Amino acid sequence: MATTDIDQKALDVFPGRVVRKDLVQDIKSGANVPTYVLEYLIGQYCATDDEEALEQGLEKVKEILSKHYVRPDEAEFVKSQVRERGRYRVIDKVTVQLDEKQDAYVGSFVNLGLSDVEINKQLVSEHSKLLGGGVWAIIDLEYIPDNAKTPKSLFGIDSFKPIQVSNLDLAQLKQKRRRFTRDEWMDLILQTVGYDASHFSDREKLLFLTRCIPLIESNYNYVELGPRGTGKSYLYREISPHSILISGGKTTVAKLFLNLNTGRIGLVGRWDIVAFDEVGGLSFSDSQAVQMLKDYMESGSFSRGTEEMTAQASMVYIGNIDLDVEGVLKSSHLFEPFPDDMQDLALIDRFHYYLPGWEVPKMQSKFFGNQFGFIVDYFAEFARELRKESYNDAINDEFAFGDHLNQRDERAVRKTVSGLMKLLHPHGEYTKENLREYLEFAMEGRRRIKEQLKRIGGMEYRAVEFSYLDLQTSEESYVSVPEEANESLIPPGTQQSGTVYTIGESEGRHAPFRIETQALAGTGTTSISGTPGTEMKTSFETACDYLQANIRELTRDETLDDYDLNVQVLNPSDAGEGKETSVGFLVGIVSGILDRSVRPQTIVLGAMSLMGELVAVSSLVDKLQLAVDSGANSVLLPAENKSDIAKIPNELLDELQLMFYTDPLDAASKAININ
């Protein structure tokens, strides 16, 4: 195998700390043990690019796994070996609990099927995670015949060696980082996770690296939703022994935080990362769970019983979006896969970063190369040590935040930047452009969350125009979100006559519509297509009936019976209904008949009765915000809404010209500039 420059540099700078990643995949197919277990063994025997030595080391690893890794179907054979030999070495996962009746620690071997094995309290003290999700280790089991015919186990632990890095010189690692460029170091970390970095764009590399931030940043709240097959859960299941992955199903406050009956701290106190896989299937048996999650994700503390406790676990939520993102954004929001009780505005607002999983390429065999990377356990310990440090203030030297970022937004962006800095620049050396790149990337992920809050919660979350100021040049730069950067519904310039834009009500939300009316000489027939529901058809019929009786007040030369009206409704948000749109239909019909265009970039709001009585627009502020988001710069609305002007934020008044009409024909006159 020809080693690349990065591979050779990694071998030279970090001898004994890097392994060839394809070896892990080759062996893993025959042994269902975590990646960090395999890499520990491979790192002991295969940390070389010498093919002959590597082959010998590989055989040694396979021999160790063959002799000592316990498969569940071999459990009885292994027990027999312990009994006959008196002592036998195994590789297994051990979990420990306190037997309150015996006042003693007892252990269970996951694959061996042993339970109630007495555990020395010194061992528990040295390895507290035995009390959590358990620890993989190389263990010398001994047989204790004196325990025969007693409640005690016949098996005991003679020696216990956790499969983890026992010492890490962080200062030395930081010094060695200087031997690599930023891009070389980035590729080395990606190779550590198992990927061949040459297949990915710079943005894709950053997306992959962002998955690592919860490893290196304490109390980091991260969400990733996207298609299946992009490796969302792999990192949290395989790469770090300090991460626990919970796959769907029910969980409890006692499990997550504190068991009041036993006084035992929950997962957030025992793990660096608590990751929820298949978040759509997650449910809580306790009604207070979501509130406790909100408190913990905000402050890193929680109250249980009479005590307030703190923890440092980062919270990771991963799941699937089954539709294409464009389709989801037309009809809903990007947190829709979450369970209903977790689609809570306050909970969503506590996330620091939303990674767009739809941008991550689906895993292919070519993505997993034969490059060298850090032993994952070494990488995990490096990340864990750096949780104690922070780069939260790095931004202050070069940049300042824009007005639309509140305190929670700033904290989220700072934590993401800090995580990327620690991953890529643990030695503390970086350029201004490095910092700018991470800042914009962090702001994008936080803005994605705020955009969804605006969709769900309306005007309360209207401040989404994220920006930052360059302190040296005083130049302000705005950061967008790619999936929200599509063309506006309302393009600039004059539209074809008969075209009008309006906003209707649809099942508790607001939906924009484009109405296109074609008026041809005929006998008074009407047809309409594209309407999402019966109430919108009723609005169209109301507009037609009113015009039938009143159009001569606009133009004495025209009647509705002289035209065949063909109307098509474009429904970009896939709304299920379109109530309160009758005035919009009326304006479109008049525009088509008179062959005169509606004012450019104008939205017509309002509904009317058959007799022309106007109805005040409901949820006006939210609809005005939607008008701005859709590309409008002027809005026509009933005079009945004049009293609502005081409630409209100045930011909206600065962006929109409001025009009021007193009756339906007045709306048509002002929309089309009829004198």
What are 476's strand-pairing partners?
469
SS3 659: strand
CB 371 within 8 A of CB 191: yes
Q: Where are the beta strands (DSSP E) in 453-508?
A: 467-470, 476-478, 499-506
Query: Which strand (E) or helix (H) includes residue 372?
Result: strand 372-374
Buried b (16+ CB within 10 A) or exposed e, 132-153: bbbbbbbbbbbbbeeeeeeebe
By residue count, the chain amounts to 675
The token duo for 222 is 């991260």
Return the pLDDT at 1.
Answer: 43
Task: Tell me what percent of the chain is helix, strand and coil, each rounded to the nearest 5.
Answer: 45, 25, 35
Return the pLDDT at 283.
Answer: 86
Alpha-carbon span 98 to 106, nearest angstrom: 6
Alpha-carbon span 599 to 497, nearest angstrom: 10
SS3 566: strand
Return the pLDDT at 487.
Answer: 55
The token duo for 485 is 């950067």
Return the pLDDT at 52.
Answer: 85
Give first-to-last CA distance, the chain, whole Å.
82
Phi, psi of 299 (to 5 degrees): -120, -10
Residue 268 makes CB contacts below 8 A (sequence gap 6+) with: 256, 257, 274, 296, 302, 311, 313, 315
CA gyration radius, the chain:
32
Cα–Cα distances in angstroms (integers) from residue 421 to residues 182, 272, 425, in the given order: 11, 19, 5
CB 395 within 8 A of CB 417: yes
Within 10 angstroms of residue 318's Cβ, the number of other Cβ atoms is 23
The token duo for 484 is 């929200």
Phi, psi of 430 (to 5 degrees): -160, 165
Alpha-carbon span 208 to 210, nearest angstrom: 5
Architecture category of domain 499-672 in CATH: 2-Layer Sandwich (3.30)
CB 177 within 8 A of CB 426: yes
Cα–Cα distances in angstroms (integers) from residue 649 to residues 403, 465, 646, in the given order: 15, 15, 8
What are 50's strand-pairing partners?
none
Classify 633 in phi/psi space as left (phi over 0), alpha (psi -120 to 50) or beta: alpha
Which residue, chain included where needed, has tokens 């216990």?
160
Going 402 to 407 to 409 to 415, the CA torsion angle's sign is positive
CB 446 within 8 A of CB 409: yes
Type of residue numbered 301: S
Phi, psi of 579 (to 5 degrees): -75, 165
Residue 94 burial by Cβ neighbours in a 10 Å radius (0-12, 13-18, 19+) = buried
**Average pLDDT per run of 10 along the chain, which is 675 residues long?**
77 88 73 74 77 85 84 89 92 89 89 89 83 82 90 90 73 96 96 91 96 97 94 87 84 87 86 93 85 94 84 95 76 87 94 96 85 88 93 95 96 98 97 97 97 84 92 95 75 92 89 94 92 91 94 78 93 87 96 94 96 94 90 95 93 93 96 79
Alpha-carbon span 25 to 649, nearest angstrom: 58
Return the pLDDT at 132.
Answer: 65
Q: Which of 93, 37, 94, 34 is nearest to 61 (CA)?
A: 37
Cα–Cα distances in angstroms (integers) from residue 653 to residues 111, 283, 590, 621, 624, in the given order: 67, 43, 28, 10, 9
Q: Which of 66, 90, 63 is nearest to 78 (CA)?
A: 90
Query: Which strand (E) or helix (H) includes residue 356?
Result: strand 353-356
Going 38 to 44 to 48 to 52, the CA torsion angle's sign is negative
Return the pLDDT at 107.
Answer: 92
The token duo for 220 is 């980091």
The token duo for 441 is 């990337």
What DSSP state is assigned to residue 604?
E
Residue 433 burial by Cβ neighbours in a 10 Å radius (0-12, 13-18, 19+) = exposed
pTM for the whole structure: 0.77
